[in-house]
């Protein structure tokens, strides 16, 4: 079976020459079709950068210095730009983090969904609006036809995130990158959004790379998980195994530092600064080794 997504030895650096800094240091992971993979890490771990690299949306000053990214067996890094662009939004979709800034504020919701459908699926204007209404109904938006006529500012954060989810699944993608899609939402809305993502994933059979810092969210929606720190994979496996029996000290420390609604304060253990420092020292040692190695 061809992996939906395969990343091999991916190195990404920001900046040039002597002043460049590595953000991904040899990341490898593979997603089977239909798999939901949690990509967990704290800020600076490189989790969003990995998602952006897959989408070809790295910031202008970031470059892939080594490694391969393949989507359904096709090399995304070497692929000509027009071909890659035709995959984006259609076969590979993004659910962005911030529902407040990811929609165009001056265009109606319906027009924004229709543009996507007309571009990728060559639907007529009327067909596209028809399909857009169906998509909104699929993400449990009541009165979808009325919502098509609204501007983003007329919707709550949860509603906007639903619109973005509808857009992500609009063209039946086989890979969805979800970049912290529930971080800005209230818990009750978060739960509904997670339910929707799972429902649509099942219906469309997409693999999902779910980027998050929240181990609780991973536990609920991801079958497998990868723990990232300083651009390195520290641990991966089935979510149930990793959470019940974390092997890496960093994973154990993260779990112990996560406040839990079912446990009092005495259970909370901050991540030891010495552990973080030693992980960074190791990352810098790796950087020196890579720099010395003949390329």
Partner 1 sequence: MTEILLRTGALSFAYPERVGLFRRPLLREVVKRVDLAVPRGSVLGLVGESGSGKTTLGRLLVRLLQPTSGGIQFDGVEISHLDEAEMRPLRARIQMIFQDPQSSLNPRLRLGVTLTRPLSVYGRVKGRRDRRDRAAALLDLVGLPTGFVDRYPHELSGGQRQRAGIARALALEPDFIVADEIVSGLDVSTQAHILLLLREPRARLGLTMVFISHDLSVVRVLCDDVAILQAGEVVEYGPVARIFNSPQHPYTQQLLSAIPLPDVEPGWLDDASPIVTPYSQGSAA
Chain contacts with partner 1 (rule: CB under 8 A): 42-43, 140-142, 156-159, 186-192, 194-196, 198, 213-221, 239-240, 243-244, 253-255, 257-265, 268-271, 276
Work out how close the CB of 237 gets to partner 1 at its nearest, in angstroms, rounded to a whole number. 12
Q: Under a CB-based contact definition with an 8 Å cutoff, are residues 176 and 168 in contact?
A: yes
Measured CA angle at 277 (ends 250, 213), to 5 deg = 45
Q: Using only the alpha carbons of the chain, give its radius of gyration.
A: 20
Q: Which letter does DSSP use for residue 244 in this model?
A: H
Residue 80's Cβ-side half-sphere holds a number of Cα atoms within 13 Å equal to 2
Complex with partner 1: residue 33 or 157, whichever CB lies closer: 157
Work out how close the CB of 290 gets to partner 1 at its nearest, in angstroms, rounded to a whole number. 26
Work out how close the CB of 163 gets to partner 1 at its nearest, in angstroms, rounded to a whole number. 13
Complex with partner 1: residue 69 or 95, whichever CB lies closer: 95
Q: What does the alpha-carbon distance between residue 114 and residue 35 come to, in Å, rounded to a whole number?
A: 28
Q: What does the alpha-carbon distance between residue 228 and residue 205 come to, in Å, rounded to a whole number?
A: 26
Complex with partner 1: residue 209 or 215, whichever CB lies closer: 215
Q: Is 44 helix (H, G, I), strand (E, B) or coil?
A: coil
CA distances (Å), origin 14, targets 18, 41, 84, 232: 11, 19, 22, 16
Work out how close the CB of 105 gets to partner 1 at its nearest, in angstroms, rounded to a whole number. 19
Q: What does the alpha-carbon distance between residue 158 and residue 150 come to, in Å, rounded to a whole number?
A: 15
Complex with partner 1: residue 87 or 141, whichever CB lies closer: 141
Complex with partner 1: residue 87 or 155, whichever CB lies closer: 155
Complex with partner 1: residue 92 or 230, whichever CB lies closer: 230
Site of tokens 């800094």: 21
Work out how close the CB of 6 gets to partner 1 at its nearest, in angstroms, rounded to a whole number. 25
Work out how close the CB of 25 gets to partner 1 at its nearest, in angstroms, rounded to a whole number. 19
CB atoms within 10 A of CB 295: 6
Work out how close the CB of 55 gets to partner 1 at its nearest, in angstroms, rounded to a whole number. 24
Give strand pairing partners of 37. Answer: 209, 224
Complex with partner 1: residue 86 or 278, whichever CB lies closer: 278
Q: Look at the alpha carbons of 74, 78, 83, 85 in this order and tell me if their dihedral is positive or negative.
A: positive
């Amino acid at each position: 079976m061809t992996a939906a997504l395969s990343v091999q030895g991916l190195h990404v650096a920001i900046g040039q020459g002597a002043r460049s800094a590595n953000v991904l240091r040899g990341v490898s992971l593979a997603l089977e079709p239909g798999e939901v993979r949690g990509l967990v890490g704290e800020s600076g771990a490189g989790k969003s950068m990995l998602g952006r690299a897959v989408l070809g949306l790295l910031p202008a000053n970031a470059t892939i210095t080594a490694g391969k990214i393949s989507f359904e067996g096709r090399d995304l890094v070497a692929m000509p730009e027009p071909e890659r662009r035709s995959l984006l939004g259609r076969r590979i979709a993004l659910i962005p983090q911030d529902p407040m800034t990811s929609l165009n504020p001056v265009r109606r919701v319906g027009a924004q969904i229709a543009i996507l459908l007309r571009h990728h699926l060559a639907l007529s204007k009327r067909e596209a609006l028809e399909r857009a209404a169906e998509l909104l109904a699929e993400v449990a938006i009541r009165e979808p036809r009325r919502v098509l006529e609204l501007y983003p500012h007329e919707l709550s954060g949860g509603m906007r995130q639903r619109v973005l989810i509808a857009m992500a699944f609009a063209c039946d993608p086989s890979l969805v990158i979800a970049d912290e899609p529930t971080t800005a939402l209230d818990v009750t809305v978060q739960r509904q959004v997670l339910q929707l993502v799972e429902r649509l994933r099942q219906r469309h059979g997409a693999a999902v790379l779910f980027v998050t810092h929240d181990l609780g969210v991973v536990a609920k929606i991801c079958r497998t998980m990868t723990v990232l720190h300083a651009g390195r994979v520290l641990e991966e496996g089935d979510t149930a195994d990793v959470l019940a029996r974390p092997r890496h000290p960093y994973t154990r420390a993260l779990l112990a530092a996560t406040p839990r609604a079912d446990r009092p304060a005495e259970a909370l253990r901050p991540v030891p600064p010495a552990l973080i420092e030693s992980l960074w020292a190791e990352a810098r040692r790796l950087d020196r080794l890579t720099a010395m190695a003949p390329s």
